A and B are shown apart, each in its own frame.
Chain A
Amino acid sequence: MTRNLGEEPKPSILETAKQLRAELSEDYHDKVMTAIYADAAQIADTTISRDTKKANLTFDRALDRILTHPIGGFVAMGLMFLIVFWITIAGANIPSQMLGDLLLGTVYNLLHQLATALSLPVWLSGFLIDGIYLATAWVIAVMLPPMAIFFPLFTLLEDFGYLPRVAFNLDRLFASAGTHGKQSLSMMMGFGCNAAGVISTRIIDSPRERLIAILTNNFSICNGRWPTLILMGTIFIGALAPPALASLVAALSVVTIAVLGIVMTLIVSWGLSKTWLKGETSVFSLELPPYRPPQILQTLYTSIIDRTLIVLWRAVMMAAPAGAVIWLSSNIMIGDASIAAHLVNLLNPIGWFLGMNGVILVAYIVAIPANEIVIPTILMLTMTLGKVAGAQAGVMIELDDAQVYHVLTEVGGWTLLTAINLMLFSLLHNPCSTTILTIWNETKNLKWTMVATFLPIAMGVAVTFTTTLVAHLLGFV
């Protein structure tokens, strides 16, 4: 017999199920689970035999005892990241220099010779070479070496199985902040890219806790911001120490900012979960995977191809138009000054209150699409507006660290305070436009997108204003 589908057999099934369900005891679900566990245990028991002599978990266990220790775990964590940044800073120094010499020296001069040979008009060669090319070359010289060292190191740690231990350590802190322990995982993704970090909050089921994770992801320093911190840490803070310790001190300052970001994440999460986003804290279980010997060659390949080059490509795509905009705004005059000069003058008073200057604020506006171009923009504007000898309007010149220091302090009037505030502002300002768009896509909520955008700026203003005030009161400046 064939059953007619329109005959609706379904309600009777649902009806029967309802009746039967009423007769079942409360712990039905548990009984079903128990039956599954019992069968799984029975099958596992009869298929596994253990060679106790060979059982060699001691290494994993001993390592976990240190790495997930309530205190030792944090010490190990700090050391691990310090070492990663130290290697990055110390190792990137020489290749950065070489790349700078090549792209900003040799190639740049060749391009100008070529332009002269082709007798291009000055405005065109200026726009193309001094604007677009130089901005792009700068970004590559500044970013490529540290990224090419940092990413593989970070990926090796990940491959080894260290990240879940970090999440395990931080879980307690997140729990006391009233949020989901998985937030530590999305936070860690944010250390690569905030947009990716925001997407990865999908692993958090509770909408309340997920929203907290989205709103605080920006406190993870992303790829675009590491170069700013590394440069400031190297030329202003590392330089305070004796040469032998310089890279280490520089690394320490970068790690301090990153840790401050974690502290901010926790404070803001705590604040949100006590006010706007009150609710229950979910429990979750996190499995610590075994330590696995990292596959070094494969890791090098994938992290350089997949991460470094993709990040670099994005930076270059942003730098080229930004270079054009900076060059144009430095060369188009309104009245007696260029557009850039007007903007800088307009923002100078605000910058002064925050212990920075108008140039830095303009750079952060130009860098809304990508934080990677903050430093090139600052240098370019400082030099053109400060009328550095030999610098044409809107031209970024070949600089090594010592010269950058010289330009910023002598021409830009920077002090140690300016550098520290820039590092703090780099941590605490609006997310890049890609991240804002991602937050919108994930929340579809204008209010929360706005909060995610403006809350960090408000915090950045408050923090830099305070440090400036304190520095002035104590007479450091």
Chain B
Amino acid sequence: MTMQAMPATCQTCPAYNAASLKKLGVSTEGADYVIALAGNPNTGKSTVFNALTGLRQHVGNWPGKTVARAEGGFTYHDKTYKLVDLPGTYSLLSTSTDEEIARNFILFGQPSVTIVVVDATRLERNLNLALQILQITDRVVVALNLMDEAKRHGIEIDVRHLSRKLGVPVIPMAARQMQGIPELLDAIDNVARNKVATKPHHIRQQDSQVEYALNTLVEEIEAAYPGLPNARWVALRLLDGDESIEQAISENRLGTLAETATIMQQPAPEPIIAVEAIS
């Protein structure tokens, strides 16, 4: 767990790379990558947002403060990133406006990377959302925030183990103290440029009837939309009678999603690190 900034002499270390971070404010025109910022309410999404963009969005210690989407941008390693702060939600499975904004953006906005900000002091409940997001997109970095508070409460977290379980990079952070920001930037960069291969955790259905229904539907969806990265999640939602997904299918928007997903994945220049889900 590297939380402290390293000596700047080492050119490969994340702290060095942070120097190439140029804060752009809101000029997000023509960004190379779009990054979504998701997470439970009051986990520090806005703090992470501000740390990355240099904007001073008002940060409050109360849930539900970010009502609409906030956007900002930054450059890192000569690439420009557009960062979108989504409203905090506990789940993506119900129909509240907040959840729909977050879900639609992750699904249809197809961000290059989705950062899931996770509260280290309330890991289990936060993982519920993280696991749901991992069903929609595999381009995820988990920002394990509030590590300082977890430490204060005597909670130890095996970050490497968590990362292997989830199948995506997990970055321990204390965003209020700006700890872990360089490492987070590095992880975003790795996932955006396909330098790291993610293999997200998949939910095991315990009910055989559900499992059967899912498999049948997934087969059909995959045949119709080859390359769609989240066929299983789409099936899950269709079985729940999700109207916006049904609509997306009738309007053939899923076909477009599958195409862009294939393009995004393609130029994978030598995966350096492989993060894989173990079960």
Interface residues of A (CB under 8 A from B): 3, 5, 9-14, 16-17, 20-21, 23-25, 28-29, 31-41, 43-57, 158-161, 163-164, 167, 182, 185, 199-200, 202-203, 205, 285-287, 289-290, 292, 295, 302, 306
Closest chain B CB from A91 CB (angstroms): 24
Known contacts A14-B238, A50-B155: does B93 contact A286 (CB below 8 Å)? no
Q: Are B246 and A14 in contact (CB under 8 A)?
A: yes
Residue numbers in B under 8 Å from A295 (CB-CB) = 176
B210 at the interface (CB under 8 A from A): yes
B77 at the interface (CB under 8 A from A): no
Closest chain B CB from A282 CB (angstroms): 10
Q: Are A21 and B162 in contact (CB under 8 A)?
A: no
Identify 16 new A-B residue pairs, CB closer than 8 A, beyond the known A3-B224, A21-B213, A302-B56: A17-B239, A20-B216, A24-B209, A24-B210, A29-B240, A36-B132, A36-B203, A40-B124, A40-B131, A43-B166, A49-B156, A49-B158, A55-B153, A159-B61, A285-B90, A306-B56
Closest chain B CB from A432 CB (angstroms): 21
B60, B204, B223: the one within 8 Å of A163 (CB): B60
Closest chain A CB from B131 CB (angstroms): 6
Q: Are A5 and B255 in contact (CB under 8 A)?
A: yes
A33, A50, A158: the one within 8 Å of B60 (CB): A158
Known contacts A199-B67, A202-B67: does B153 contact A28 (CB below 8 Å)? no
Q: Mark B222-242, 1 if CB is under 8 A from A, else 0.
A: 011010000000011011110
Q: Which of B119-178 contact A (CB under 8 A)?
A: 121, 123-125, 127-128, 130-132, 149, 152-159, 161-162, 165-166, 176
A36, A53, A57: the one within 8 Å of B131 (CB): A36
Q: Are A17 and B124 in contact (CB under 8 A)?
A: no
Indicate the member of A10, A38, A45 with the most B CB atoms within 10 Å.
Answer: A10
Q: Are A33 and B93 in contact (CB under 8 A)?
A: yes
B125, B127, B152, B240: the one within 8 Å of A32 (CB): B240
Q: Are A31 and B161 in contact (CB under 8 A)?
A: no
Closest chain A CB from B95 CB (angstroms): 9
Closest chain A CB from B142 CB (angstroms): 11
Q: Are A292 and B61 in contact (CB under 8 A)?
A: yes
Q: Are A46 and B165 in contact (CB under 8 A)?
A: yes
Could you name 5 residue pairs across A and B whose Cβ atoms are closer than 8 Å? Answer: A32-B205, A36-B131, A39-B131, A50-B156, A292-B61
Q: Are B63 and A48 in contact (CB under 8 A)?
A: no
Q: Are B97 and A205 in contact (CB under 8 A)?
A: yes
Q: What is the CA–CA distance of A40 and B130 in the complex, to the nearest angstrom? A: 9
Q: What is the CA–CA distance of A22 and B239 in the complex, to the nearest angstrom? A: 9
B268 at the interface (CB under 8 A from A): no
B199 at the interface (CB under 8 A from A): no
Q: Which residue of A lies closest to B43 (CB)?
A: A289
Chain B interface extent, by class: 35 or more
Q: Are A5 and B157 in contact (CB under 8 A)?
A: no
Instruction: Report the 3 A-B pairs with minimum CB-CB distance, sorted nearest first.
Output: A54-B154, A44-B124, A51-B154
Q: What is the CA–CA distance of A289 and B154 in the complex, to the nearest angstrom? A: 17
Q: Which residue of B lies closest to A286 (CB)?
A: B63
Q: Are A16 and B206 in contact (CB under 8 A)?
A: no
Indicate the member of B56, B153, B221, B250 with the most A CB atoms within 10 Å.
Answer: B153
Q: Are B123 and A164 in contact (CB under 8 A)?
A: no
Residue numbers in B under 8 Å from A35 (CB-CB) = 203-207, 210
Known contacts A13-B217, A20-B217, A32-B210: does B63 contact A53 (CB below 8 Å)? no
Q: What is the CA–CA distance of A55 and B156 in the complex, to the nearest angstrom? A: 11
Closest chain A CB from B162 CB (angstroms): 4
Residue numbers in B under 8 Å from A16 (CB-CB) = 216-217, 220
Closest chain A CB from B262 CB (angstroms): 13
B124, B166, B209, B250: the one within 8 Å of A14 (CB): B250
Q: Which residue of A lies closest to B132 (CB)?
A: A36
Q: Are A56 and B153 in contact (CB under 8 A)?
A: yes
Q: Are A47 and B162 in contact (CB under 8 A)?
A: yes
Residue numbers in B under 8 Å from A159 (CB-CB) = 60-61
Residue numbers in B under 8 Å from A164 (CB-CB) = 61-63
Q: Are A44 and B123 in contact (CB under 8 A)?
A: yes
B90, B93, B128, B166: the one within 8 Å of A29 (CB): B93
Closest chain B CB from A22 CB (angstroms): 10
Q: Which residue of A lies closest to B236 (CB)?
A: A32
Q: Are A161 and B64 in contact (CB under 8 A)?
A: no
Residue numbers in A under 8 Å from B250 (CB-CB) = 10-11, 14
Known contacts A17-B238, A25-B209: does B154 contact A55 (CB below 8 Å)? yes
Q: Which of B30-82 contact A (CB under 8 A)?
A: 40-42, 56, 58, 60-64, 67-68
Q: Are B64 and A160 in contact (CB under 8 A)?
A: no
Q: Are A13 and B158 in contact (CB under 8 A)?
A: no
Q: Are B155 and A48 in contact (CB under 8 A)?
A: yes
Residue numbers in B under 8 Å from A11 (CB-CB) = 250
Q: Which residue of B lies closest to A46 (CB)?
A: B161
Q: What is the CA–CA distance of A461 and B152 in the complex, to the nearest angstrom? A: 55
Residue numbers in A under 8 Å from B155 (CB-CB) = 48-51, 55
Q: Which residue of A lies closest to B95 (CB)?
A: A205
Residue numbers in A under 8 Å from B249 (CB-CB) = 10, 13-14
Known contacts A38-B206, A203-B67: does B156 contact A48 (CB below 8 Å)? yes
Closest chain B CB from A89 CB (angstroms): 25
Q: What is the CA–CA distance of A159 and B42 in the complex, to the nearest angstrom? A: 11
B266 at the interface (CB under 8 A from A): no
Closest chain B CB from A160 CB (angstroms): 7
Residue numbers in A under 8 Å from B121 (CB-CB) = 290
Indicate the member of A14, A48, A57, A164 with the most B CB atoms within 10 Å.
Answer: A48
B201 at the interface (CB under 8 A from A): yes
Closest chain B CB from A429 CB (angstroms): 27
B67, B132, B159: the one within 8 Å of A200 (CB): B67
Residue numbers in B under 8 Å from A10 (CB-CB) = 224, 249-250, 252
B11 at the interface (CB under 8 A from A): no
B96 at the interface (CB under 8 A from A): yes
Q: Are A24 and B255 in contact (CB under 8 A)?
A: no
Q: Which residue of A lies closest to B225 (CB)?
A: A9
Residue numbers in A under 8 Å from B166 (CB-CB) = 43
Q: Are A17 and B203 in contact (CB under 8 A)?
A: no
B85 at the interface (CB under 8 A from A): no
Residue numbers in B under 8 Å from A29 (CB-CB) = 93, 240
B183 at the interface (CB under 8 A from A): no
Q: What is the CA–CA distance of A158 and B63 in the complex, to the nearest angstrom? A: 11
Closest chain A CB from B91 CB (angstroms): 8
Q: What is the CA–CA distance of A14 and B239 in the complex, to the nearest angstrom? A: 9
B98 at the interface (CB under 8 A from A): yes
Residue numbers in B under 8 Å from A53 (CB-CB) = 154
